[in-house]
Amino acid sequence: MTETKTKTPVPGWYGSIPSDSQPEDPYSGYRELRETQPVNLTPEGQWRLSRYEDVRSVLRSHGAGMRQTNGMLPGQTVEEPGRGQFMLLQDPPTHTRLRKLVSKAFTPRAIEGWRPRIQAVTDDLLDRVADRGEMDLVADLARPVPATLICEMLGIPPEDQETFTNWTADATHGLLTVRGIGDDALRARVDSAASNLIGYFQNLIDARRKNLGDDLLSVLITAEEEGDRLDPLELLSNSVGLLIAGFETTIGLIGNGLTTLIKHPEELARLREHPEWIVSAVEECLRYSGPILASVRVLHEPHTFGGYEIPKDSEVIAMLAAGNRDPEVFDDPERFDVSRYARELSVPDHLSFGGGAHLCLGAHLARLESQIAIGTLVQRFDDLELVNDETEWGLSLFRVPGRIPIRFRANKPASSAA
């Protein structure tokens, strides 16, 4: 009889120490971790997986979810009613029913219908800066594109959009405070923004119930599956959750993507030669410099990865960005190649939208906005130049730039842009 022995982990950081600051290059640390300790028990007691196959496997596993087997979220000691109704914090069967209902508002067809509007918003934003020869990629493009779109999708009147977007930005920082980052002033700003947002949504939902339209909120209010609907608290949590899930992330994809392109002038030139590669280029930006570096799962049963048995109820960090550069899966993974996903041979999907039951629900929207924003800017503006060598990171749990000043020379008016 053969006995399978499991290895005993030696806790450590193995070259990749998480810190509150945003390092310019977390990837070399991830590489060291993946090469020396791909199944890693950290000194803080969480497990980290950094190989592509392990990351994909835990994300897709039916034996892992978001909550512990006692139904609590990691770190939670008492059930707090009202918190945690967002689908990303749920396991089946609650997750399955919430996701089915909310998905009705996020079909690829519904999102594709927004293409002309995304293009018009992008053209308008670029028109405003074209004569200046300089802009901040975040304030002038990466933030207003997703912010305007989500406001319009929800039917927020134009006069409220700026306040609403500022509340969203502040409330999103709540993700930091949950992780114990930030001072009392930040916590106060987050609480005030969150309660403003909830109050605003409550009024908006009440108004929509009396006068349904074809906006996102009306679709969520009426979404029905076999007689089932979202209850008022679920409707509120998932509307606010969608807003927060899609805000900084899309800013990060557009901002990091453009920064990466400017830092790789040959790839930028290849993309200009082949505008049809924009779909591939955005996938490569997600793989190479995506805004979310990791996602989390809790094991509902013991799992063995690379000979280490990880016990039930362990928190496992699926290191998306480390898996995205795994040489076992990607050819020349450290190379940024805008045509990687345009070649005929099938390239594995990147992990930047997570995977399994929780695969990002907003992926179609994020892709479309980024393809249009990045594709239009690189076709309209030449001689792109970063003013600063180092990125000024924003206040975020994710890899999201705060400001990216650039210089450029405009070459085309809006009407002839891509």
Closest CB to ligand HEM among 257 and 333?
257
Long-range contacts of 331-338 (CB under 8 A, 24+ apart): 334/27, 336/260, 336/264, 336/267, 336/284, 336/288, 336/289, 337/267, 337/284, 338/261, 338/267, 338/270, 338/271, 338/274, 338/277, 338/280, 338/281, 338/284
**291 part of the interface to ligand HEM, by CB under 6 A:** yes
**362 part of the interface to ligand HEM, by CB under 6 A:** yes
| Cα 289 to Cα 269: distance, rounded to the nearest angstrom | 19
**358 part of the interface to ligand HEM, by CB under 6 A:** yes
Q: How far is the CB of 10 from ligand HEM (least distance, A)?
A: 28
The correct pick among 39, 64, 130, 242 for binding ligand HEM (CB under 6 A) is 242
| Cα 27 to Cα 33: distance, rounded to the nearest angstrom | 10
The correct pick among 290, 333, 375, 401 for binding ligand HEM (CB under 6 A) is 290
- Token reading at 320: 């998306």
Closest CB to ligand HEM among 246 and 375?
246
Closest CB to ligand HEM among 18 and 356?
356
- For residue 311, give the 3-state DSSP assignment: coil
68 within 8 A of 38, measured Cβ to Cβ: no
**361 part of the interface to ligand HEM, by CB under 6 A:** yes
Alpha helices in 211-362 (DSSP H): 216-222, 232-263, 265-273, 278-289, 320-323
Stretch that binds ligand HEM, among 75-83, 206-214, 217-225, 245-253 (CB under 6 A): 245-253
**88 part of the interface to ligand HEM, by CB under 6 A:** yes
Long-range contacts of 158-165 (CB under 8 A, 24+ apart): 160/200, 164/197, 164/200
Cα Rg of the chain, angstroms: 22
Segment 106 to 165, residues that bind ligand HEM, using CB under 6 A? none
Closest CB to ligand HEM among 125 and 365?
365
Residue 62 identity (one-letter amino acid): H
Contacts of residue 292, Cβ cutoff 8 Å, sequence gap at least 6: 249, 252, 320, 321, 352, 354, 398, 399
User: Residue count at the site for ligand HEM (CB under 6 A)?
Assistant: 26
Residue nearest to ligand HEM (CB): 362
Segment 53 to 72, residues that bind ligand HEM, using CB under 6 A? 59
Q: How far is the CB of 188 from ligand HEM (least distance, A)?
A: 27
297 within 8 A of 59, measured Cβ to Cβ: yes
Closest CB to ligand HEM among 278 and 366?
366
**246 part of the interface to ligand HEM, by CB under 6 A:** yes
**245 part of the interface to ligand HEM, by CB under 6 A:** yes
**355 part of the interface to ligand HEM, by CB under 6 A:** yes
Closest CB to ligand HEM among 84 and 182?
84
Closest CB to ligand HEM among 95 and 130?
95
**359 part of the interface to ligand HEM, by CB under 6 A:** yes
Whether omega before 93 lies within 30 degrees of 0, making that bond cis, reads: yes
The correct pick among 111, 126, 171, 292 for binding ligand HEM (CB under 6 A) is 292
347 within 8 A of 340, measured Cβ to Cβ: yes
**353 part of the interface to ligand HEM, by CB under 6 A:** yes
Q: How far is the CB of 302 from ligand HEM (least distance, A)?
A: 21
- Token reading at 408: 């450029």
Q: How far is the CB of 132 from ligand HEM (least distance, A)?
A: 27
**CA distances, 318 to each of 279, 335, 409 (Å):** 25, 22, 41
Q: How far is the CB of 124 from ligand HEM (least distance, A)?
A: 20
Identify the sign of the CA torsion 110, 112, 113, 115. positive
In 3D, which of 50, 125, 176 has the Cα closest to residue 377? 125
**400 part of the interface to ligand HEM, by CB under 6 A:** no
Q: How far is the CB of 361 from ligand HEM (least distance, A)?
A: 4
Binding residues for ligand HEM (CB under 6 A) = 59, 87-88, 99, 242, 245-246, 249-250, 253, 290-292, 295, 352-356, 358-362, 365-366
